[in-house]
Amino acid sequence: MSALIDLSSLYDLGEKVALVTGGAEGMGKEVCRFLASAGATVAVADINLPWAQDTAREIVEAGGNASAYHVDLAAEQSVVDLLHAVRKQHERLDILVNVAGLQDREFLTETSLALWDKLHNVNLRGSFLTIREAAKIMRADGRGGRIVNISSMGSVHPIFEGLVAYNASKAGVNGLTRNAAYELAQHGINVNAILPGNTTTAGQGRTPGPPIDISKLKNLTPPLGRTGKVSDIASAVLFLVAPASEWITGQTLIVDGGHLNN
């Protein structure tokens, strides 16, 4: 007679150390909460250190393990220092989740080189730097690892104006994900990306850019009838960093409520 499967073990992150960039608020904060709830020790990294400290404190007060770090993803040395600090404090690094990013909007013909560079420096180059440094640690430690990048549905199918620079940077993240997965597979490091559809966050409302045409908002509602919640994305991240997804790498998982089926 076959024994039942212990499904809880498929999502057990006990003894794992996870670094989450952009963990101070919104999607990143929810990812931190999910990983801590699965047993991981979470390193909450953000350019806004006080808010990162708030996230870490809330997790600790709820019975989890977390600590906060400052990072500026546009500065190489800041990223290098972050990864060294996490490895030194926790003596290992098993998971990296790149959530931090900028979504400043501007129409194509008004997009400045400064705006283009700003978004690519954080969204694409910043992800490259964190992956590069995390991979060095994971490879040296010999325990394998999981890396998840937060890209965007807009990287494969634009649905809203003003996101040329943003979507181009996220398309680069998709290519970065596939190539990193190819190179790092031999070291037991899985690399995947999640492409969220329109997901409501506080940061989304603060994004600078031209006024939004209210008449076009209906185009942002997917077949499932609502915009995304940060928990929708965090649960997908948990799957991709947990033992349940051991045989998945180099994939770009679209989490959009069925929007691309429209």
Taking only the tens place, the pLDDT of each residue in 192-212 is: 999 999 887 776 666 666 776
Express each pLDDT in 95-144 by its tens digit.
999 999 999 999 999 999 999 999 999 999 999 999 999 999 999 999 99
Domain residue limits, the chain: 14-202+211-261
The band of 18, judged by pLDDT with boundaries at 50, 70 and 90, is very high
Residue 166 falls in the annotated catalytic set = yes
Question: Model's pTM, two decimal places?
Answer: 0.95
Domain 14-202+211-261 has CATH 3.90.1300.10: no
Mean pLDDT calculated for residue range 37-60: 98
Catalytic residue among 11, 69, 166, 182: 166
Strands (E), the chain: 17-21, 41-46, 65-70, 95-98, 145-150, 189-196, 252-255
Q: What's residue 160's pLDDT?
A: 83
Using alpha carbons, select from 16, 50, 31 the residue that is nearest to residue 99: 31
